[in-house]
Amino acid sequence: MNENKITRRKFLKGVATTTTVGAVAPGMTNNAKAMELEEGGKDFSPQTGKERKVIPSACWQCVARDAILCYVEDGKLVKIEGNPKSIRNRGKICSKGQAGISQVYNPDRVLNPLLRVGKRGEGKWKKITWDEALDLLINGGEIAGSKVKGLKTLRDAGTPEQFMFHYGRMKGSDGAIIKSNFLPAYGTSTVGGHTAICEVAKWTAQELTWGKHYDINDVENTTMILNFGANFYEAHTSHVQLAQRAINAQNNGVRLVTFDVRLSNTAAKSDEWIPIKPGTDGAVALAMCNVIMEEGLYDAEFIEKWTTTNVAQLKDHLKQYTPEWAQGVSDVSAEKIRSLAIEFGKAKPGTCVSYRGAVAHYNGVENERAMKMLDGICGHIDVKGGTLHGVGAKFVYPKISGHPTKLKILDGFPGDIAYPTHHADHQVLRMIKDGKAGRPDIYMIYCYNPAYVNGGCQENIDILKDEKLIPFFVSVDIAMSESSYLADLILPDVSYLERWSWDDMVSYDMIPEFYLRQPVVKPRGETRQFQDVVIEIAKRLGIDLGFESTVDFIKKSCEASGVDFEYLKKHGVWHPEGAVPKYKPYAKELSPEKYTGDDILLDEATGVYWNWTKSKAESKEAAIKAGYTSMKYAYKGYVGQKIGNKVYAGFKPDKLNKSGMFELYSELLKKKGFNPLPSYLPIPEHQNLKNDQLILTTYKVNVQSHSRTQNNKWLTEIYHENPMLIHPDTAAKRGIKDGDKVVVNSETGSVEDVVARLTKGIYPGVVSISFHCGHWQHGEYASGKESFGHECEPDCGRIWWDNVGVNPNWAIPATPDPISGQARYMDTVVTVTKA
Amino acid sequence: MKKRERSSSGQSTAEHERPLRRREVLKVGTLGALAGCTGVGKAMAGGGSANKKKCYGMVIDLRRCIGCHACTVACKSEFNVPLGVWRSWLRIKEDGEYPRTRRTFMPKLCNNCRNSPCIKVCPTGAAYYDQDDVSSIDQKKCIGCKLCIGACPFKQRFINPDKNTADKCTMCMHRVRKGLVPSCVNTCMGNARIFGDFNDPNSEVSQLKRDNKVEVLKPELGTKPQVYYIGGTDR
Amino acid sequence: MPTYDIFHLPALDSITVMYFFFSGLTSGTFLLSLWAGYGQEKLKSVAKPAAVITPISLAIGLLLLVLHLERPFQFWRILITFKPTSTTSWGAWVLNIFFVISFLYAFLWLKNKGEKAKMLGLFGLPFALFTGLYTGLLLMQMSGNALWDSALLPWIFLVGGLLTAIAVTVIVLTVMGQKPTEPFFGLRRHIQALIAIELLMIASEFVGLFTGGAAATEIAVMLLRGKLSFWFLNLEVLVGLLIPLGLLIVAKRSKNAGLHVAVSALVIIGVLTMRFIVVLVGQGQI
């Protein structure tokens, strides 16, 4: 399968042979071979010259989860590089991936189970054994004078939902063991994630439009890239994959145009950076759609056959969104919108990239829908070089089907969010405070730092600190964090480099990559992989999960999936023989036996064939009565879409009972009182800004990911102080000079001690502060403070920075958007004053 | 090399445009100019081998650099470089007027000069050209006088706090001699860094140097750097 | 955010500056002693003390040189190698030979064998000149630093060394109880002349800076108007050169010991400031 990998060398050779055709070619190639150096796969100690031991594994510094090779010298992990056998990251890995060594060796790791002995948040701990820790967790007991209930107590009382499990990062087999086995077997589905603070608006918009949430942009095969608020040269769900392909495309002359409020590195590398007012990307996309329809550059067949609207209706709907109107809204010139729209409409194919810059807004879902419409009407959907659904490995793995129950605290306050398809995790603590939907007795976080990562830090801290609201707070973590610091019990997990899991991130080559994460070094101290811990907890509770250990689970998954476990251990990645990219899978016609049978129903209203037994319907009659759209989990039984008198695979729905069409016109949204066609939703707070008010946006940089890499010394050395970016004109009005200390105030709170950085790389009227920094309890490199059990290394004494930056979440409210529950990280209205 | 022919933007310094140095203005003897790669090696390394001398160096295609710092960290990890010092670094520069603001990235490393001021000033011979003409440091011989640090016009040398000796990029010769590209090249996701032997006319670096407009840093100093930039260094 | 870049710690620190100062002083006292020994009748009595100061100053200089090394105990390596391209290698050898010469020279003066000493002194003259010039040469060899890229630098350093040599000798003589009589007046004229030369060279240096490209001009502007103008204009030029010159002209016939010490102290401050500015600014540190 590695033939799919285009290395620089092969690429060069290819060019050499095509340009020199014949005569000189053989000589050239021989010479070229003689001097060729290999790119990776081996490594030698610069001191001793000895070859370092190589172990393939998988990264987990961010959700991109690339395949890596890890080099071990004298039992110590010393280097990480990309796995050249990976078709996704092609032997490359970013700065974060390489700095991950610190996740193992950072001086502030938690190496023993820690029990709180002082007041909550006082920072007084006692090291305890795993046996004591699990006994406390299962049977309850006393923590610093207060009695707490255990897992067994709750389960025996018939209230397993009183145990809430809230994770930040859990994918692949890590999630499969816990979410698909342990938690349902235990009986709780009070389970939260973190998608709402990420990009849920994008996901929900995809689910409303064309099904599964992950989309990819086939930039390497495209002719034009239109980018709304994505920063893929610095951070992206598939950063290394997309960045490599995009720079290749640019080098081949493909134009990249970026709309962003800030000159990100992506904007800087783009052929054009177009500054835009925050939250108005949708307006520009709609105006572009308008131009494309007016100019007749649309794909009539796709619109008429595969969408839920038609050319006439679309034209009529888009009439209101002229480029001139969009200029007034977004500050992007009408002329520019028109010319780009024509260019994009003529690009065959083109692809529209969008991310948090466009979607982490009040109107995020509508913005994303507008961008999908842009791709859709141009005929860029599911074609080579267009916008497609990513293809990831589909591991088959053991699952337990229990009948778990849950507390209704996961989806925000009633009526706030129309379709919380990935929950509203930033509302969980507020729901707990409110208490009307109940409060968990045990609140367990896993690889999650709610105090820091959610908006409204102060309120998060106050709730987590309150023993009346959260009686027993357990954190599973690898190092001290702001949230673990407030916990009653910390269970030390292994880092991703000491861990077993299979993983399945999507591949931009449209060929699935099955890959493995395996321990590169022995787990440090008393740390234990939490998946193994839950297997032991299950045993102690008398639950049989059907597998003995994480490795056993992985072996069983591999066996069921037809993947050779030993091969994965040796090579790290595996690709199915003969797999090829599949384009336009929706247009595949289904043979009649696929959609006939006793379990299968045709929903006349939508034309969807569906298998009612896979929904929550009690009987066939109940399913028919409710209909496809209204039956809970009906989408799980989706079979095909009837168009005319043929049945097609269609756009398979996920999370929502949409039809198998490309739903530009959304009945689901109409039902909730929104405009069924993609529309511009003005952000209420931005409409009447006062003179002194500014909009605060946030961003990520290339050498940090989220909130969990700041104790990686090589990264924090490069990026530790996050300034507030402000345009010189905006700053001048406030008498702010470069380097001044300022305070950023909002209704939620204020960010103190911010350093102002004047830059012409930002839209005036906006200030921007990156995430990542401003930790107050995350070890010495991140926060300047040593954590409990700190173990010095030589570099501790060489920390040359004293400013650890600021966290904008002190001023950002934890409020959801009305459709998906997206946390609005780009919308906050603030004032900025000199400190 | 069709794919590399995209015209670059904003480069300026061709050899003939270089400003006169002050010392030249003052008509005081300059350091003797030295010719191409091979000559220097023999002169400085004292006696050559029968084989053709190497001239290792790098071509950095700035159009392909996305400023990701993967090289910076790869280098830190390869040599376990202590905090506060760097063998490879990325300079980020912002200029231009809104909304035509520009940000440019420039990876910096030891230029492996063929006429190295650092090697000249070293009083103990710790800074030397090795058998492949790569500017190297003999850690045993270095007394830490720091003159080479001052002498390097590219500010690429530093005192390694672990060893108390001068240190810098070695072009990963410990890898190159085992048939591997340098660590930073290996990790460059834009494939902006290309390493090779300029004495081999068929090497990728030679081809790139031939087919593109390339520039070196501070050509007016006559140090003959072997790190060539495509796409405008804009110093 | 115009530029985001990282700089390593500068190579030359304040110990280096002090070492430069003492090597200049060494060179100056030796030359002064020789100058006094040959012909200059009025200065005769200066020859011996200056000769004695020389090896002491050089010993301090050499000690500082070793101390500024990151690996001082590897110092011997410099003495088992000779690198013709390295100014420092030359410097190390010359300084060591010069140390022996200056020690013998001082010994001969102390034994009142003035004539033999003068003969030896002639032999030592090139070594002394080199010692005075070479710190400047060393900086010149460091390419890419606009301020150091000047052929005048060694001469500015040499004249600075002579100035401090006279200043230190005056102070030493005063401390030893010598009355400010004839030899002092001779030294005064020398100070005046040397200050005039130093000022001329600094002026030409600025001409060079202003015509030497953007980086050089930037430094010139920084020295004259920027954040360094206080140190350069007030301390180096005014306090270190102009005020002493003025005092010496105004109080032409003064026999006040305090005045001579004060003038000397100001000259030393001026030269030290000059060396600090040249070294630290040259490295792009300030």
DSSP track, C94-160: HHHHHHHHHHHHHHHHHTT-HHHHHHHHHHHHHHHHHHHHHHHHHHHHSTT-TTT--TTHHHHHHHH
Answer yes or no: is pLDDT of B35 > 70: no
Residues 125-184 of C with CB under 8 A from B: 138-146, 149-152
Q: What single-letter DSSP state applies at residue A50? A: P
pLDDT (tens digit, 9 = 90+) per residue, B126-147?
999 999 999 999 999 999 999 9
A265 in contact with chain C, both atoms CB, cutoff 8 A: no
Q: How far is A720 from chain C (nearest CA, A)?
A: 13
HSE, CB side, 13 Å, CA atoms: give it for residue B175.
26
Kindly report the CATH number assigned to the domain that includes residue A757.
2.40.40.20
pLDDT recorded at residue C182? 67
pLDDT recorded at residue C216? 84
pLDDT recorded at residue C143? 67
Of B98, B162, B203, the CB nearest to A727: B98
- The rounded percent of chain A whose pLDDT value lies above 90 is 94
Q: How far is C9 from chain A (nearest CA, A)?
A: 12
- Return the SS3 of A102: helix
User: Cα(A492)–Cα(A479) distance, rounded to whole angstroms?
Assistant: 8
Which residue in chain A has the smallest CA separation from C3? Answer: A759
* Residues contacting C129, CB < 8 A, separation 6+: C27, C31, C158
pLDDT recorded at residue C231? 85
pLDDT recorded at residue A520? 97
A-interface mutation test, from B65, B83, B92, B188, most A Cβ less than 10 A away: B83
The answer to the question of residue A236 being in a domain is yes
A759 in contact with chain C, both atoms CB, cutoff 8 A: yes
Angle at A22 (CA atoms; ends A16, A28), nearest 5 degrees: 45
Residue-number span of the structural domain to which B191 is assigned: 56-230
pLDDT recorded at residue B234? 55
Q: Is there a single domain that holds both residue A820 and residue A797? A: yes
Instruction: Please give the backbone phi and psi of residue B199, each rounded to the nearest 5 degrees, phi first.
Output: -80, -15
Tokens 């006692």, residue located? A126
Of C3, C140, C149, the CB nearest to B91: C3
Q: Is there a single domain that holds both residue A418 and residue A566? A: yes
Of B69, B74, B161, the CB nearest to A703: B69
**DSSP per-residue codes, A228-293:** ES--TTT--TTHHHHHHHHHHHHHTT-EEEEEESB--HHHHHSSEEEE--TT-HHHHHHHHHHHHH
Q: Looking at beta carbons, which residues of chain A come within 8 Å of B202?
A: 28, 31-32, 35
Instruction: Please tell me which residue, C284 or A161, carries the higher pLDDT value.
Output: A161
Of residues B117, B133, B93, B113, the one with CA closest to residue B232:
B93
Between chain A and chain B, the number of residue pairs with CB atoms below 8 A apart is 177
Q: Is there a single domain that holds both residue A455 and residue A525? A: yes
CB contact under 8 A, C83 and B123: yes
| CB distance A531 to A550 below 8 Å | yes
Answer yes or no: is pLDDT of B41 > 60: no
Q: How far is A5 from chain C (nearest CA, A)?
A: 35
Q: Of A671, A703, A733, which closes a domain? A: A671
pLDDT (tens digit, 9 = 90+) per residue, A289-326?
999 999 999 999 999 999 999 999 999 999 999 999 99
Q: Is there a single domain that holds both residue A271 and residue A287? A: yes
pLDDT (tens digit, 9 = 90+) per residue, A251-294?
999 999 999 999 999 999 999 999 999 999 999 999 999 999 99
Q: Is there a single domain that holds both residue A331 and residue A382? A: yes
C-interface mutation test, from B18, B98, B143, most C Cβ less than 10 A away: B143
- State the total domains in chain A: 6
Q: How far is C76 from chain A (nearest CA, A)?
A: 25
Answer yes or no: is pLDDT of A90 > 60: yes
HSE, CB side, 13 Å, CA atoms: give it for residue A828.
30
Residues 20-49 of B with CB under 8 A from A: none
Instruction: Please give the backbone phi and psi of residue A474, each rounded to the nearest 5 degrees, phi first.
Output: -115, 135
**DSSP per-residue codes, A389-408:** E-B-------------B--S
Q: Which is it for the CA torsion A814, A819, A825, A828, positive or negative?
A: negative
Q: Which is it for the CA torsion C52, C53, C58, C63, positive or negative?
A: positive
CB neighbours of residue B14 within 10 Å: 10
Which residue in chain B has the smallest CA separation from A7? Answer: B191
pLDDT recorded at residue B2? 33
Q: Is there a single domain that holds both residue A630 and residue A772? A: no
Which pair of tokens denotes residue A106? 């950072």
CB contact under 8 A, B146 and C68: yes
Q: Looking at beta carbons, which residues of chain B come within 8 Å of C212?
A: 21-22, 25
User: Cα(B216)–Cα(B225) distance, rounded to whole angstroms?
Assistant: 6
Tokens 């190497």, residue located? B54
User: Cα(C93)–Cα(C80) distance, rounded to whole angstroms?
Assistant: 10
Q: Is there a single domain that holds both residue A33 and residue A47? A: no
pLDDT-based confidence at residue B16 (cuts at 50, 70, 90): very low
Please provide the average confidence, as pLDDT, over all residues in chain A: 94
CB contact under 8 A, B145 and C88: yes
CB contact under 8 A, C149 and B22: yes
Which residue in chain C has the smallest CA separation from B87? Answer: C8
- State the total domains in chain B: 1
User: Cα(A109)–Cα(C225) distance, rounded to whole angstroms?
Assistant: 52
pLDDT recorded at residue A765? 95
The answer to the question of residue A114 being in a domain is no
C-interface mutation test, from B28, B68, B145, most C Cβ less than 10 A away: B145
Strand locations in A715-786, DSSP E? 724-726, 741-745, 750-758, 766-770
Strand locations in A159-205, DSSP E? 163-167, 191-192
A714 in contact with chain B, both atoms CB, cutoff 8 A: yes
User: Cα(A555)–Cα(A548) distance, rounded to whole angstroms?
Assistant: 11
CB contact under 8 A, C144 and B22: no
Q: Is there a single domain that holds both residue A151 and residue A240? A: no
In sequence order, the β-bridge partners of residue A238 are none
Q: Is there a single domain that holds both residue A227 and residue A241? A: yes
The answer to the question of residue A397 being in a domain is no
pLDDT recorded at residue A121? 93
* First-last CA distance in chain C: 19
pLDDT-based confidence at residue B64 (cuts at 50, 70, 90): very high
Q: Of A549, A574, A599, which closes a domain? A: A574
Superfamily of domain C14-282, CATH level 4? Formate dehydrogenase/DMSO reductase domain (1.20.1630.10)
Which residue in chain A has the smallest CA separation from B175? Answer: A44
Answer yes or no: is pLDDT of A168 > 80: yes
CB contact under 8 A, B22 and C140: no
C1 in contact with chain A, both atoms CB, cutoff 8 A: yes
Tokens 């140090």, residue located? B223
B partners (3+ CB pairs within 8 A) are A, C
User: Cα(C63)–Cα(C18) distance, rounded to whole angstroms?
Assistant: 11
Residues 85-114 of B with CB under 8 A from A: 94, 96-99, 101-105
| For range A407-411, the mean pLDDT | 97
CB contact under 8 A, C151 and B28: yes
Tokens 């050509």, residue located? B219
Answer yes or no: is pLDDT of B232 > 90: no
Give pLDDT < 50 ranges for chain C: 286
C3 in contact with chain B, both atoms CB, cutoff 8 A: yes
User: Cα(A497)–Cα(A77) distance, rounded to whole angstroms?
Assistant: 9
User: Cα(A323)–Cα(A313) distance, rounded to whole angstroms?
Assistant: 19
* Residues contacting C225, CB < 8 A, separation 6+: none
Q: Which is it for the CA torsion A487, A492, A493, A496, positive or negative?
A: positive
Between chain A and chain C, the number of residue pairs with CB atoms below 8 A apart is 5
| For range B98-105, the mean pLDDT | 94
Answer yes or no: is pLDDT of A58 > 80: yes
Of residues B92, B113, B138, B71, the one with CA closest to residue B225:
B113
Of B69, B73, B84, the CB nearest to A800: B84
Tokens 């010692």, residue located? C131
Kindly report the CATH number assigned to the domain that includes residue B174.
3.30.70.20
pLDDT recorded at residue A175? 97
Q: Looking at beta carbons, which residues of chain B come within 8 Å of C77?
A: 124, 126, 141, 143
Answer yes or no: is pLDDT of B40 > 50: no
| CB distance C192 to C198 below 8 Å | no
Answer yes or no: is pLDDT of A731 > 90: yes
Residue-number span of the structural domain to which A642 is assigned: 585-671
Residue type, position A730, single letter: T
Q: Looking at beta carbons, which residues of chain A come within 8 Å of C1?
A: 725, 757-759, 761
C214 in contact with chain A, both atoms CB, cutoff 8 A: no
Please provide the average confidence, as pLDDT, over all residues in chain B: 81
Answer yes or no: is pLDDT of B76 > 90: yes
Mean pLDDT is lowest, of A123-127, A210-214, B67-71, C233-237, for C233-237
Q: Looking at beta carbons, which residues of chain B come within 8 Å of C209?
A: 22
Task: Tell me the Cα Rg of chain B.
Answer: 18
Residue type, position B210, single letter: R
Answer yes or no: is pLDDT of A219 > 90: yes
Q: Looking at beta carbons, which residues of chain B come within 8 Å of A240?
A: 189
- Return the SS3 of A101: helix
| For range B82-88, the mean pLDDT | 95
Answer yes or no: is pLDDT of B46 > 50: no
Task: Tell me the Cα Rg of chain C.
Answer: 19
Instruction: Please report which residue ranges of chain C form alpha helices under DSSP H.
Output: 14-37, 44-67, 87-110, 114-141, 153-175, 182-210, 214-224, 229, 243-250, 257-282
* Residues contacting C45, CB < 8 A, separation 6+: C36, C178, C183
Q: Is there a single domain that holds both residue A237 and residue A372? A: yes
pLDDT recorded at residue C282? 75
The answer to the question of residue A316 being in a domain is yes
pLDDT-based confidence at residue A20 (cuts at 50, 70, 90): very low
A partners (3+ CB pairs within 8 A) are B, C
Domain parsing of chain C, residue ranges: 14-282
Residue type, position B67, single letter: G
pLDDT recorded at residue C279? 86
Tokens 């029968």, residue located? B50
User: Cα(A83)–Cα(A93) distance, rounded to whole angstroms?
Assistant: 8
Mean pLDDT is lowest, of A88-102, A359-373, B129-143, C1-15, for C1-15
C partners (3+ CB pairs within 8 A) are A, B
A244 in contact with chain B, both atoms CB, cutoff 8 A: yes
HSE, CB side, 13 Å, CA atoms: give it for residue A283.
21
User: Cα(B47)–Cα(B26) distance, rounded to whole angstroms?
Assistant: 36
The answer to the question of residue A508 being in a domain is no
Q: Is there a single domain that holds both residue A352 and residue A413? A: no
User: Cα(C123)–Cα(B28) distance, rounded to whole angstroms?
Assistant: 27
C283 in contact with chain B, both atoms CB, cutoff 8 A: yes
